């Protein structure tokens, strides 16, 4: 196997590969330049540890990609760079300059599952306590009652913003603590509601909504100051304005906060799938590592061989 010196050897190898792409593969100059930039970026990454391209490992490739991801590079761009590396190492393998392709078992960014961002429980409590206090004053208006009810419902049931906007009054069954929700593809599901969400909705229906209803029948549960159904954009803006200091909450983030906090407290993924209305359990599996963390904790606490050794002072 040929070996090259660090730095200058990497430059020579990349130059030789560019000649191969232009002459033998007939690639356009712009494409070759993009590949060259990607390879030079990877070479710079491994040269920090005195590495050379011909002896790069799978760990080198993985750490390079994770570094790009940590710096906010989009998955599509990372996938392109990985494709450039794969073509490069196939060429080295074909030319018998290496005996192992370090990119073979590297996972493509297309298959990465990113856990959606959520608020901490303390941040959710702060938000709901603040809007709840405004809704509970004696002279609370219909808007304060409505906004607090929406936030409680988003967090309690993990509803999508479109599902909030499409709810009708008759979809609520507060006596049994549940709501009929129409999700994607008009699929219906029953969402259970907690005590605080039920109380907020009862107060809104009794004192807030009548204030917002104008002439004519209006089935929509949540109404604007003009008595019209709320738009998704309006709900987004309301949630953003209610965000705790230093956070950028959104209806989507509240939905994921609901799921995250349930899993952290021991809920199984099938139950969370049903609550959120995911058609495929694979969509819910982004929360798997939270469930595993809970499982490890339970194992340490309850398995006779799982408990940590305690140092007892004599």
Q: Which of 86, 252, 261, 294 is catalytic?
A: 252
CA angle 304, 310, 314 (to 5 degrees): 130
The sign one gets for the Cα dihedral 81, 82, 86, 92 is: positive
Q: Which of 22, 130, 278, 294 is catalytic?
A: 278
Q: Which of 146, 203, 253, 255 is catalytic?
A: 255
Calpha distance 9→137 (Å, rounded)? 73
- DSSP letter for 72, please: T
Which residues are within 8 A (CB) of 223 and not within 5 positions of it... i.e. 6 or more apart? 146, 209, 212, 213, 229, 230
β-bridge mates for residue 182, sequence order: 188
| Residue 77 φ then ψ, to 5° | -70, -40
287 a catalytic residue: yes
Calpha distance 280→255 (Å, rounded)? 17
Residue 242, CA atoms < 13 Å, CB-side half-sphere: 33
User: To 10 degrees, what angle do helices 195-203 and 121-136 make?
Assistant: 30
Q: Which of 37, 184, 228, 265 is catalytic?
A: 184
Q: Residue 220 is encoded by which pair of tokens? A: 């929509």
Q: Which of 81, 148, 160, 253 is catalytic?
A: 160
Cα 22 vs. chain centroid, distance in angstroms?
Answer: 40
80 a catalytic residue: no
Q: Which of 17, 35, 89, 287 is catalytic?
A: 287
The three-class DSSP label of residue 230 is: coil
| Residue 231 φ then ψ, to 5° | -90, 160
203 a catalytic residue: no
Please check whether residue 254 is in contact with residue 161, taking contact to mean a CB–CB distance below 8 angstroms: no
278 a catalytic residue: yes
Q: Any idea which residues carry the catalytic annotation?
A: 160, 184, 252, 255, 278, 287
């Amino acid at each position: 196997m040929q070996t090259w010196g660090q730095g200058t050897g990497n430059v020579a190898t990349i130059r030789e590969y560019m000649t191969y792409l232009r002459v033998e593969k007939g690639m356009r100059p712009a494409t070759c330049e993009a590949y060259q930039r990607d390879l030079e970026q990877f070479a710079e990454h491994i040269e920090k540890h005195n590495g050379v391209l011909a002896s790069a490992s799978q760990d080198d490739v993985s750490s390079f990609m994770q570094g790009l991801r940590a710096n906010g590079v989009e998955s599509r761009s990372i996938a392109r760079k990985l494709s450039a590396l794969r073509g490069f190492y196939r060429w080295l393998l074909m030319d018998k300059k290496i005996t192992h392709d370090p990119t073979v078992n590297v996972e493509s960014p297309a298959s990465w599952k990113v856990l959606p961002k959520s608020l901490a429980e303390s941040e959710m409590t702060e938000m709901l306590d603040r809007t709840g206090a405004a809704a509970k004053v004696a002279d609370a208006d219909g808007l304060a009652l409505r906004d607090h009810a929406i936030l409680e419902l988003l967090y309690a049931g993990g509803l999508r913003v479109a599902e909030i906007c499409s709810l009708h009054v008759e979809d609520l069954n507060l006596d049994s603590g549940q709501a009929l929700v129409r999700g994607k593809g008009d699929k219906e599901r029953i969402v259970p509601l907690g005590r605080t969400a039920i109380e907020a909705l009862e107060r809104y229906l009794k004192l807030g909504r009548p204030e917002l209803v104008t002439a004519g029948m209006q089935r929509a549960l949540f109404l604007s100051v003009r008595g019209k159904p709320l738009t998704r954009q309006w709900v987004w803006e309301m949630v953003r304005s209610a965000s705790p200091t230093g956070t950028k909450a959104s209806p989507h983030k509240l939905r994921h906060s609901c799921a995250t906090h349930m899993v952290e407290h021991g809920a199984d993924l099938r139950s969370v799938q049903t609550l959120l209305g995911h058609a495929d359990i694979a969509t819910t599996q982004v929360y798997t590592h939270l469930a595993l963390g809970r499982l490890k904790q339970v194992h340490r606490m309850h398995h006779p061989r799982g408990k940590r050794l305690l140092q007892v002072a004599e």
